[in-house]
Amino acid sequence: MNSATGNLANKIKTSLGRRRFLQASAAAGGGLMINFSWGVAPTGAGDAAAGMVPDQPFELNAYLLIASSGEITAMVPNPEFGQNLITSMPMILAEELDADWQSITAKQANYDARAYERQFTGGSQSIRRAWQSLRMAGASARHMLIQAAAQQWQVPAGEIIAKNSTLTHTKSDKQSSYGAMAAAASQMPTPDEVSLKDKSSFELIGKSRHNQEGQKIVTGQPLFGIDYQAEGMKIAMIEHPPAFGQTVESANLDEIKKMPGIVDAFIFESISPEQQKNYFDTNAFPRLIAIVGEKTWQVMKAKKALKPQWKNLPSRTETMNVFGREVSVTTPGGLENTTDHRKKMDRALASKLDTLREDGDVKSAFDSAETVIERTYHAPYLAHNTLEPMNFFAQINGDGVHVAGPLQAPVFIQDTLASRLSIAKEKVHIEFTRMGGGFGRRAYSHYLVEAAVIAKQVKAPVKLIYSREDDMTMGIYRPSYTVRIKAALDKDKKLVAYQVKGVGLSEHCVHENRFPAGAVDNYLAEAKAIDSNITTGAFRAPRSNFMASAEQSFLDELAEAAGVDPIDFRLALLDRAKNNPVGDNNDYDPARYAGVLKLVREKSGWDAMPGTTHKGVAAYFCHNSYAAQVITVKQGEGEPKVDKVYSALDCGIVVNKDSAINMVEGAVIDGIGNALFGEMTFTDGVPDKKNFDRYRIIRINEIPDNIDVHFVENSIDPTGLGEPPFPPVFPALANALYQLLGERQYLQPYAKRHQAS
């Protein structure tokens, strides 16, 4: 053991190639990868300087500020979405810093591509992508503190122990707090490499720590974008066409401007027609009506008095920048209907699809099979229904703009905003607030651009607020999908062929290299996306949230046809994929996949459940993690009710146990609600549901009586957790409902067909 730093396992370089850590190479999508902005203390730094400015924080890197008082501020680079990054990320920093947790205060950083890597909350990647950077930041600060103490005390650095925010040299009986040494440490050179702890010696990571902002949330302190206030701020709202496929033609704007409290009303383009959009600029209604006033109620009254005229849009094709690739995107004209969507997808399934993967001879295997089973699954559009409707603050400051609010992906909107306002990219200052829900919706930040364009027009600071109806009827929805799966069993009831065909609006959901690919000799995956003018995008566990449902429901039916327990059926396939895999492009680890199935089997008591228990199981891999769910159901009053849920996750090292359990519980409830009730339909382009009086969500009396969460314990670096527990909830519920009702679930939402008359 190294007495200076505890049990340290490996050294990690703080430079990349020929460039210092301070000048790391550019990250994909903009910004600098794992860059630390090493700070400089005031002139005359050292103990004396620290004494002169007791509250002065000394920035040891962009993630950590240590005040001479001993308070440590941990900067959280990623936007907080409710997954408790505000606690988990500081835990990683504090672990490597060997800091006293009670001295840590978390603070949300603003967008700064020079200082932080990937300030994007999405894809369940926040902890995974920041893991090494955060550990490096904490270890680097610890190293600099030790070096400063060694220099001041004239002792070998290797003899100094850093622990609980205290530096100790036992031989000379010298001791200093981190705070007292912070000024001197800030003048130490950046290390070329630092030692990271052995994972077995973690003291914070893997434990539970309360949410750093928990008390602020429950006491109603202003943390969210909707709370944002600024001097002279006006309130803005927008009106969009009632139907997808329409745009604004005119409105009675002069009348609106004369209403009490109204500052201005005008038609505007959020994104100019000549601008090239990127993937996250998706927006069905770039041409909108803005109403700006002094107070929210005045603006709402004016909005009700609007008499707009709309016109239908023709089909159009534009070139979009999709992560550096130019992609041609066609948006059809016309007013679309849900009934037509189903017909389009059925026709597409019967047509020639794109072949994504083909193993063996699928046709011959089906021709010679003993049993062939084919099933079709359908999923509707889903609305995000954010608890906090879309909102953003914007203020034009000379040749720049300051915006503040809830968003997931600032790196993808900064260029768009700069281009729209004709200002330098560096003049766009983005401030993060907490996000009140969204799971993908807030990555599409057109509402931010709308706020800025409105602020520029009225020459005043503006907070744009969407109504619930705006939020639910403007997109961006989970796409509607149809998947057809066909399988062949031989005379011994072994799976010998598997074919999956998927279509969707405006994307398909087939992952060609995921299970059961690699476990079947003859395998074919085909898919096709169908153009639509209804805007769609990321929804919790994009594409996986339905593909898991179709695949795992179908595997359950195959297990029944083979006369095999559903878990045993899956484990046998995973054993094949592990020991004798088909192909070399399989993107999952069969052993880890099997691990969550075995864990959920054990924790649920699957094998010991009475025959009268209506149970279902499902497992899925996405976002680098593995999840399995066992659900039991019973007949409730009028409709089936979920009784118990057992969850097993393999997401590598769990940083904060409480937060991880909370995320899984939330995913389970979210999944059950969407599976039973979630559905958005359209009539002539108009969303049929505009508020919660018609868009059904799960109610508190419908949540499971018990959600039992377990994690596979290993030393694998953290992977995703926000999304992986979500997809297998749908099929586990479908399989349990089959046990209760005696019929398979091929159409979502499930409750729509099982409500008592």
Q: What CATH number should be reported for the domain whose range is 225-316+390-465? A: 3.30.365.10
Query: How many other C-beta atoms lie within 10 A of the C-beta of residue 247?
Result: 17
For the chain, residues classed under CATH 3.30.365.10 are: 8-218, 225-316+390-465, 352-382+477-753
Helix (H, G, I), strand (E, B) or coil at 480: strand
C-alpha distance from residue 286 to each of 89, 218, 248, 390, 478 (Å): 37, 37, 10, 15, 20
pLDDT at 236 over 90: yes
Q: How distant is the alpha carbon of residue 688 from its chain centre?
A: 27
pLDDT at 478 over 80: yes
pLDDT of residue 115: 84
Residue 90 CB partners (closer than 8 Å, separation 6+): 74, 76, 104, 106, 212
Does the pTM surpass 0.85? The reply is yes
DSSP 16: B
**Cis geometry, peptide bond prior to residue 506 (ω within 30 degrees of 0):** yes
pLDDT at 155 over 70: yes
Tokens of 305: 């008095």
pLDDT of residue 42: 29
With beta carbons less than 8 A apart as the criterion, state whether 727 and 549 touch: yes
pLDDT at 477 over 90: yes
- Cα Rg of the chain (Å, integer): 28
pLDDT tens figures, 295-343: 999 999 999 999 999 999 999 998 988 888 998 999 999 999 999 999 9
pLDDT at 164 over 60: yes
pLDDT of residue 39: 29
How far apart are alpha carbons 508 and 575 in whole angstroms?
A: 29
- Residue 72 burial (C-beta neighbours within 10 Å; 0-12, 13-18, 19+): buried
Average pLDDT over residues 608-618: 97
**Cis geometry, peptide bond prior to residue 749 (ω within 30 degrees of 0):** yes
pLDDT at 251 over 80: yes
How far apart are alpha carbons 677 and 691 in whole angstroms?
A: 14
Helix (H, G, I), strand (E, B) or coil at 293: strand
Question: Strands 495-505, 522-530: parallel, antiparallel or unpaired by DSSP?
Answer: parallel
> What does 61-77 look like in DSSP terms, one character per residue?
ETTEEEETTS-EEEEE-
Phi, psi of 63, rounded to the nearest 5 degrees? -100, -20
pLDDT of residue 753: 59
pLDDT of residue 59: 73
> Is residue 583 left, alpha or beta, with left meaning phi > 0 and alpha meaning psi from -120 to 50?
left
Tokens of 430: 């983005």
Phi, psi of 627, rounded to the nearest 5 degrees? -140, 145
> What does 601-670 look like in DSSP terms, one character per residue?
HHHHTGGGS-TT-EEEEEEEEETTEEEEEEEEEEE-SSSEEEEEEEEEEE-SS-SBHHHHHHHHHHHHHH
How far apart are alpha carbons 174 and 167 in whole angstroms?
A: 8
What kind and span of H or E run contains 548?
helix 544-562
pLDDT of residue 40: 29
pLDDT tens figures, 562-600: 999 999 999 999 999 999 999 989 999 999 999 999 999
- The least confident of 99-113, 643-657, 668-682 is 99-113
Would you place residue 113 in the very low, low, confident or very high pLDDT band (cuts 50, 70, 90)? Answer: confident
Residue with tokens 């440490």: 185
* Helix and strand numbers, DSSP H then E, in the chain: 17, 31
Helix (H, G, I), strand (E, B) or coil at 379: strand
pLDDT at 44 over 50: no
C-alpha distance from residue 330 to each of 529, 537, 658 (Å): 11, 15, 45
Would you place residue 679 in the very low, low, confident or very high pLDDT band (cuts 50, 70, 90)? Answer: very high
How far apart are alpha carbons 506 and 282 in whole angstroms?
A: 12
pLDDT of residue 493: 96
Query: How many other C-beta atoms lie within 10 A of the C-beta of residue 714?
Result: 14
pLDDT at 28 over 60: no
pLDDT of residue 47: 34
pLDDT tens figures, 185-219: 988 888 888 899 999 999 999 999 998 888 888 89
Would you place residue 25 in the very low, low, confident or very high pLDDT band (cuts 50, 70, 90)? Answer: very low
Q: Over the chain, what is the mean pLDDT?
A: 90
pLDDT at 560 over 50: yes
Is 352-382+477-753 a CATH 3.20.20.60 domain? no
How far apart are alpha carbons 598 and 62 in whole angstroms?
A: 42
Average pLDDT over residues 18-25: 31
Would you place residue 516 in the very low, low, confident or very high pLDDT band (cuts 50, 70, 90)? Answer: very high
Which CATH topology does 8-218 take? Aldehyde Oxidoreductase; domain 4 (3.30.365)
With beta carbons less than 8 A apart as the criterion, state whether 130 and 78 touch: yes
Helix (H, G, I), strand (E, B) or coil at 43: coil
pLDDT of residue 7: 55
Q: How distant is the alpha carbon of residue 624 from its chain centre?
A: 13
- The least confident of 25-29, 499-503, 731-735 is 25-29
pLDDT of residue 174: 96
How many residues are given for the chain?
757
- Tell me the CB-side half-sphere exposure of residue 621, using CA atoms within 13 A: 21
How far apart are alpha carbons 514 and 544 in whole angstroms?
A: 10
pLDDT of residue 38: 29
Helix (H, G, I), strand (E, B) or coil at 336: coil
Average pLDDT over residues 398-426: 93
pLDDT of residue 22: 31
Would you place residue 431 in the very low, low, confident or very high pLDDT band (cuts 50, 70, 90)? Answer: very high
